[in-house]
Amino acid sequence: MTAQSQRLLEIQDLFVQFPVPRGMVGAIRKRPRQTVKAVDGVSLHLDRGEMVALVGESGCGKTTTAHSILRMVEPTSGSILLDDIDVTQYAPRKMRPLRRHMQMIYQDPYESLDPRFRVRQTIAEPMHIHRLPGDRDAAVTEALERAGLVPTDLYSERFPHELSGGQRQRVAIAASLVLNPSLLVADEPVSMLDVSVRAGILSLLDGLRKDGLGILMITHDLSTAAHFADRIAVMYLGRIVEQGIAKEVVRNPQHPYTKALLSVVPPRDPRNRKTPQILRGETPDAVRIPAGCRFHPRCPAAQDRCKLEDPALHRPVSAQTSESHQAACLLV
Amino acid sequence: MSQDLSQSPTAMSPEPLRPMPKRRGFFRQLIHDRPQAAVGLAIVGALALIAIFAPLLTKYDPYVSTRELRQPPSAQHWLGTDDGGFDMVTLLMYGTRTSMIIGLAASFVSMFLGGAAGITAGYFGGRIDGAIMRTADFFLVIPEVPLMVILAAIFGQSLIIIILVIGVLLWAGTARVIRAQVKSVRERVYVKRTRSLGAGNNRIIFRHILPQVGPLLVANTVLVVAVAIFDETFISFLGLGDPSKVSLGKLIENAFQAGSASRGEWWMLVPPGVVVTLLILGCTLFGQALEDALNPRLKVSYLSVRSFTIRRGISENKGEA
Amino acid sequence: MSDGSRLLDVRDLNVWFDLGNDRTLHAVQNVSFTMDAGRRFGLVGESGCGKTTSILAVMGLLPPSATVSGQIILNGEDIMAEGEKTIRSHRWNDIAMIFQGAMNALNPVKRVGHQIVEPMELHGYAEGEAAEKRSRELLDLVGIPPDRADRFPHELSGGMRQRAAIAMSLACEPKILLADEPTTALDVMVQAQILRLLVSLSDDLGLALVLVTHDLPAVSEVCQDAAVMYAGEIVETGTMDELFHDPKHPYTRLLFAATPDLFGDEQVLSIAGSPPRLDEPLVGCPFCPRCDSDFARCVHERPVLRELSFGHLAACHLNDIAEQT
């Protein structure tokens, strides 16, 4: 990874499928084998210094996509290029050197730190694992500073139970920075934190982005995505159904699912009460993905051809949208 | 009007840490919640002290006969003498020593075997888990006592053999408990995080899982000590124990052989039984309290008959002012 | 909307928890609010502010380590006067609660339909055939298709389970429903469905709803009024419009500022610091260390919750200054 190009992450046609276990009864009765198509053809890119928010409801595949980048889950097919190196070609045992360049921040700050490790031990551990030479104490101090935990000697000897949720999340971020990664994957980094603390953590991530890190943020909160991310990709049932510049996607949504999602987000201002477009029913199982456009059974604008054709992401034909704004809908 | 707090220096450094109140030490809390732990610990502690300082506490030698056979309790011999003329109190002290040593050693064997098996099974899962657990099931199901008898009869009656036999019999229960705990710790986010950082199995097991599981292993081992002492007593009682060592079980066996019951020589039979019972009781009380406190699965949320308290008079006071 | 009948009057509710070692946690401090039929009231705050403890106190569901004072006047009777015994008779029949994470607390070995029948039988509301019939009516009311009534909880989705929890709470026809974080852990779309359900239940059945949550926009959408809690006490009460457009307490203002809006461009703020410890005596205003508008008086004098205009109360010294000028 010598020459630093702008393009940090390139996911192409990623598929992640899990077989559904049949069990003994199912095998005896010869039930057909089913697969969960958690990620059903996702292509996504991320540049250095960019924050992309992967947005969607539970079961849409956003978490599986993120986990497959880090090979916590094995992709079924497709390629994941990190600085032009295809991560999927490496056997799990050979992944260790690559892991230095991509790190993950987890949702639950109360569980992501070993309760028996002091803060400095948690932050120093990645260096031990990767046998990095150099002054470990200095690296720990620097990581604490980057994560906003100053004065550093106040925090380095603490145990997690002495820290608040926001502080713990900062420790987790510091621990991920100590290896100087290029890519940070943040899985719902603030959803378990108090509201008054969230902006602090998100600003910290924004600051890291400005330092040149690429950040992929998984979230279900569209408002957070709209404020802090450069681009948004909306996922539904394993596919990206709309993507583009964050503010554009939010103000000028093209896909009916995006429009519905945005309409049900309650506004802060009680005077802005709007009519939410509440979709019928719930997201179907990823085992039985509808034929044609996967959204058509719940789509308020569905037409006959939506039951037959499966749309790909493309620039909307009629609307005034910028070049990067794409939607997977036959009607735009 | 509203400041942008996210940019101010204090905003970047999050909330200043407040000193936590001094929490009670673990043992003080344990004894406060479960007083039987104190009782158990006291009994075992007292017996251990007696066992350790036995040579200082008694002037008699357990291997030298006083030639005063079958004497009832008296001023020189507080619990009399046995059929060989040995002072009973001395025999009890040295017997306790032997029983405790065997019990502790056997339970260490069991702790290592059971701990290693439980951690391996819980961490790796799959076929390894299956193989280990089926083996453990085998050991759990077979009747201890006949097996002890057979093994002791086959392999002889030395101290080491007895320790190993007991240890091998008892590892399965520990393995089961530890395996369950390891399985749950393994799924915790910080373990997954460390794995995704690239940590190998060794690091995860020894630095992350073992510290979480260690206390429970110790608690379980204390209970195993109780069982080990019982097993040793039983083996000795059957005459299969090490003949060169004095142990409480051997004393009981000896008393029976000498016909002390029919002769009314209670001082030969009852005291060893009482001591071994106290020893096992003490270990059990302490071990169970410890396991209760440490095993998260045993925690029961409050199901109390008592209800919350009402405080009256506050609103009346407000009115007065 | 509401027929104005006063159903519940909570006055000066205080809850202390005994922590052992002679330490006490003053978790709820002088909380007062009222509920009228058909009204939806929000109890808003972050973790540890005392909102859940407050409604648990109203339900009489506090642990033995708790001490309570204050009055809970239901239909003219102070049900807190005799403690848990009196409250128990009103539980579920007059006041019901949806607990936090209720959708995960359903009995996994009983069918959903039966779990709705259970409270009816326990509280003597109905039994047998009549209870079964009402169970089906309730399932229909909350939007669960009848074929799901005979399923086990694990066969239903999160949203369906939450609806089942709501149906359970309505089993004995309560007039007041206390909902603790009913939509946390649910997807945005399902959240909207549940919130809409709660609004329609309140409108159609005249149910008084207390929505306890940290999610300000949800409260904005569902409730007419709300109380903002901080460090165990109510720092501001008012209509949603007043709280957003004319906040009289810095915490209210900052809490809104910390909540991102979908279309707004203003910077999202965070509030440095953290709430004070409630097991130590407090001097001055509890929010003072984190406040952006504090001054000398705030440090040693505790502000009192005062009514500034009809129905709009706040506990902040700034309002005294505003009045004087």
Q: Which residues of A touch B (CB under 8 A)?
A: 70, 72, 95-96, 99-100, 103-104, 106, 108, 111-116, 125-126, 128-130, 148-151, 154-155, 158, 162-164, 166-167, 170, 172, 197, 199-200, 203-204
Do the beta carbons of residue B291 and residue B220 sit within 8 Å?
yes
Separation of alpha carbons C238 and C308, rounded Å = 10
Q: Which two tokens stand for residue B218?
A: 């110790």
pLDDT greater than 50 at residue C1: no
> Which chains does B contact via 3+ CB–CB distances below 8 A?
A, C
pLDDT greater than 80 at residue C124: yes
Q: Which residues of B touch C14 (CB under 8 A)?
A: 311, 314
> Which chains does A contact via 3+ CB–CB distances below 8 A?
B, C
Nearest CA in chain A to B193: A112
pLDDT greater than 90 at residue A209: yes
Average pLDDT estimate for B36-42: 87
Chain B (188-227) residues lying within 8 Å, Cβ to Cβ, of chain A: 188-190, 192-194, 196-200, 203, 208, 211-212
Size of interface B-C (CB pairs under 8 A): 85
Do the beta carbons of residue C155 and residue C162 sit within 8 Å?
no
Pick the more confident residue, B5 or B160: B160
Q: Which residues of C touch A277 (CB under 8 A)?
A: none
Task: Mention every residue, 6+ apart, whose C-beta is less than 8 A from residue B6.
Answer: A199, A200, A203, C267, C268, C269, C270
Q: Kindly report the pTM of this predicted structure.
A: 0.87
Predicted confidence at residue B6, as pLDDT, reads 36
pLDDT greater than 50 at residue C31: yes
Q: Which residues of B touch A200 (CB under 8 A)?
A: 6, 11-12, 14
Nearest CA in chain B to A175: B197
Average pLDDT estimate for C261-279: 88
Mean pLDDT, rounded, of chain B: 81
Mutation target for C interface from A149, A248, A251, A268: give the one with most C CBs within 10 A: A268
Predicted confidence at residue B15, as pLDDT, reads 52
Tens digit of each residue's pLDDT (9 = 90 or more) over C46-71: 999 999 999 999 998 998 889 999 99
Do the beta carbons of residue B162 and residue B235 sit within 8 Å?
yes
Mutation target for A interface from B6, B17, B186, B196: give the one with most A CBs within 10 A: B196
Provide the β-strand partners of residue A223: none
> In sequence order, what E strands does chain A have?
7-20, 34-47, 51-55, 77-82, 85-86, 102-105, 183-187, 214-219, 231-236, 239-245, 326-327
Q: Which helix (H) or strand (E) holds A167?
A: helix A165-177
Q: Which two tokens stand for residue A53?
A: 């928010």
Q: Which residue, among A193, A214, A218, has the nearest Cα to A205 in the 3D structure?
A: A214
Backbone angles phi, psi at B298, to 5 degrees: -90, 0
pLDDT greater than 90 at residue B205: yes
What percentage of chain A carries pLDDT values higher than 90? 69
Lookup result for tokens 């699965």: B297
pLDDT greater than 70 at residue A1: no
Predicted confidence at residue B24, as pLDDT, reads 60
Tens digit of each residue's pLDDT (9 = 90 or more) over B110-128: 999 999 999 999 999 999 9
Q: Which helix (H) or strand (E) holds C120?
A: helix C112-122
Predicted confidence at residue B313, as pLDDT, reads 56
Q: Which residue, among C214, C210, C217, C218, has the nearest Cα to C228 in the 3D structure?
A: C214
Amino acid at A203: S
For strands C208-213 and C40-44, give the pairing: parallel
Radius of gyration of the CA atoms of chain B, in A: 27
Runs of H (alpha helix) within chain B? 9-12, 26-33, 35-52, 54-57, 88-124, 126-141, 144-155, 159-186, 189-196, 201-203, 210-237, 248-257, 260-263, 266-294, 314-320
pLDDT greater than 90 at residue B262: no
pLDDT greater than 60 at residue C261: yes
Do the beta carbons of residue B144 and residue B137 sit within 8 Å?
no
Q: Which residue, among B140, B149, B142, has the nearest Cα to B235 in the 3D structure?
A: B149
Closest Cα of chain B to C68: distance in Å? 5
Of how many residues is chain A composed? 332
CA angle B123, B125, B130 (to 5 degrees): 130
Nearest CA in chain B to C82: B310
Q: Which two tokens stand for residue B277?
A: 């019972």
Task: Mention every residue, 6+ apart, whose C-beta is less than 8 A from residue B64.
Answer: B86
Do the beta carbons of residue B191 and residue B205 sit within 8 Å?
no
Closest Cα of chain A to C263: distance in Å? 7
Do the beta carbons of residue A222 and residue A265 sit within 8 Å?
yes
Predicted confidence at residue A121, as pLDDT, reads 94
Lookup result for tokens 């142990």: B247
The band of C290, judged by pLDDT with boundaries at 50, 70 and 90, is very high
pLDDT greater than 80 at residue A92: no
Separation of alpha carbons A62 and A45, rounded Å = 14
Separation of alpha carbons C182 and C198, rounded Å = 10
Separation of alpha carbons A325 and C36, rounded Å = 49
Q: Which two tokens stand for residue B83?
A: 């059929």
Task: Decide if B190 touches C, using CB distance below 8 A.
Answer: no
> What count of other Cβ atoms lies within 10 Å of the Cβ of residue C310?
7
Burial letters for B152-176: b for 16+ Cβ neighbours within 10 Å, e otherwise?
beeeebebebbbbbbbbbbbbbbbb
Predicted confidence at residue C322, as pLDDT, reads 73
Separation of alpha carbons B205 and B193, rounded Å = 14
Predicted confidence at residue C209, as pLDDT, reads 96
In a 3-state reduction of DSSP, which class is residue A43? Answer: strand
Separation of alpha carbons B230 and B247, rounded Å = 12
Tens digit of each residue's pLDDT (9 = 90 or more) over A249-278: 999 999 999 999 999 999 999 888 788 888
Average pLDDT estimate for C160-166: 92
Separation of alpha carbons B62 and B43, rounded Å = 23
Predicted confidence at residue B314, as pLDDT, reads 46
Tens digit of each residue's pLDDT (9 = 90 or more) over B285-306: 988 888 887 776 655 555 566 7
For strands C6-20 and C23-36, give the pairing: antiparallel
Average pLDDT estimate for C246-273: 92
The band of B81, judged by pLDDT with boundaries at 50, 70 and 90, is confident
Distances (CA, A) of C277 to A99, A182, B20, B301, C296: 41, 40, 10, 25, 21
Question: Which domains, and CATH codes, for chain A?
Answer: 7-101+181-327 (3.40.50.300)
DSSP state letter for C22? T
Average pLDDT estimate for A175-202: 93
Task: State the first-to-last Cα distance of chain C, in angstroms, to the nearest integer.
Answer: 38
The answer, yes or no, to whether ipTM is higher than 0.85 is yes
Predicted confidence at residue C101, as pLDDT, reads 84
Average pLDDT estimate for B175-183: 93
Do the beta carbons of residue B213 and residue B185 sit within 8 Å?
yes
Average pLDDT estimate for B201-216: 92
Separation of alpha carbons C221 and B318, rounded Å = 37
pLDDT greater than 70 at residue B148: yes
Q: Which residue, among B26, B94, B69, has the nearest Cα to B259 in the 3D structure?
A: B69
Predicted confidence at residue C3, as pLDDT, reads 53
Predicted confidence at residue B307, as pLDDT, reads 78
Closest Cα of chain A to B16: distance in Å? 9
Task: Decide if B14 touches C, using CB distance below 8 A.
Answer: yes
pLDDT greater than 90 at residue A332: no
Task: Mention every residue, 6+ apart, whose C-beta is less than 8 A from residue B275.
Answer: B47, B92, B95, B96, B248
Provide the β-strand partners of residue A52: A216, A231
Provide the β-strand partners of residue C8: C35, C74
The band of B10, judged by pLDDT with boundaries at 50, 70 and 90, is very low
Separation of alpha carbons C113 and C140, rounded Å = 11
User: 3-state secondary structure string, A253-312?
Assistant: CCCHHHHHHHHHCCCCCHHHCCCCCCCCCCCCCCCCCCCCCCCHHHCCCCCHHHHCCCCC
Average pLDDT estimate for A213-237: 95
Q: Which two tokens stand for residue A170?
A: 């900062």
Pick the more confident residue, C247 or C148: C247
Q: Which residues of C touch A264 (CB under 8 A)?
A: 188-189, 191-192
Q: Which residue, among B251, B257, B254, has the nearest Cα to B275 in the 3D structure?
A: B251
Tens digit of each residue's pLDDT (9 = 90 or more) over C179-228: 999 988 888 899 999 999 999 999 999 999 999 999 999 999 999 999 99
CB contact under 8 A, B308 and C292: no
- What DSSP letter does each residue of B62-96 carry, written as one string? TTS--S-TTPPS-SSSTT-B-TT--BHHHHHHHHH
The band of B18, judged by pLDDT with boundaries at 50, 70 and 90, is low
Separation of alpha carbons A239 and B34, rounded Å = 56
Predicted confidence at residue B3, as pLDDT, reads 34
Average pLDDT estimate for C127-149: 89
Do the beta carbons of residue A218 and residue A225 sit within 8 Å?
no
The band of A287, judged by pLDDT with boundaries at 50, 70 and 90, is confident
Burial letters for C246-272: b for 16+ Cβ neighbours within 10 Å, e otherwise?
ebbbbbbbbbbbbbbbbeeeeebbbbb
Backbone angles phi, psi at A146, to 5 degrees: -60, -30
CB contact under 8 A, A268 and C220: yes
Tens digit of each residue's pLDDT (9 = 90 or more) over A99-115: 889 999 999 999 999 99
Predicted confidence at residue A158, as pLDDT, reads 92
Lookup result for tokens 């929490």: B23
Predicted confidence at residue A2, as pLDDT, reads 44
Lookup result for tokens 């598929």: A15
CA angle C72, C75, C80 (to 5 degrees): 25
Closest Cα of chain C to A95: distance in Å? 33
Task: Decide if B317 touches C, using CB distance below 8 A.
Answer: no
DSSP state letter for C187? -
Backbone angles phi, psi at A214, to 5 degrees: -100, 135
Provide the β-strand partners of residue C68: B310, C15
pLDDT greater than 50 at residue B310: yes
Distances (CA, A) of B224 to A75, B287, C5, C46, C197: 47, 9, 66, 47, 57
Predicted confidence at residue B315, as pLDDT, reads 42
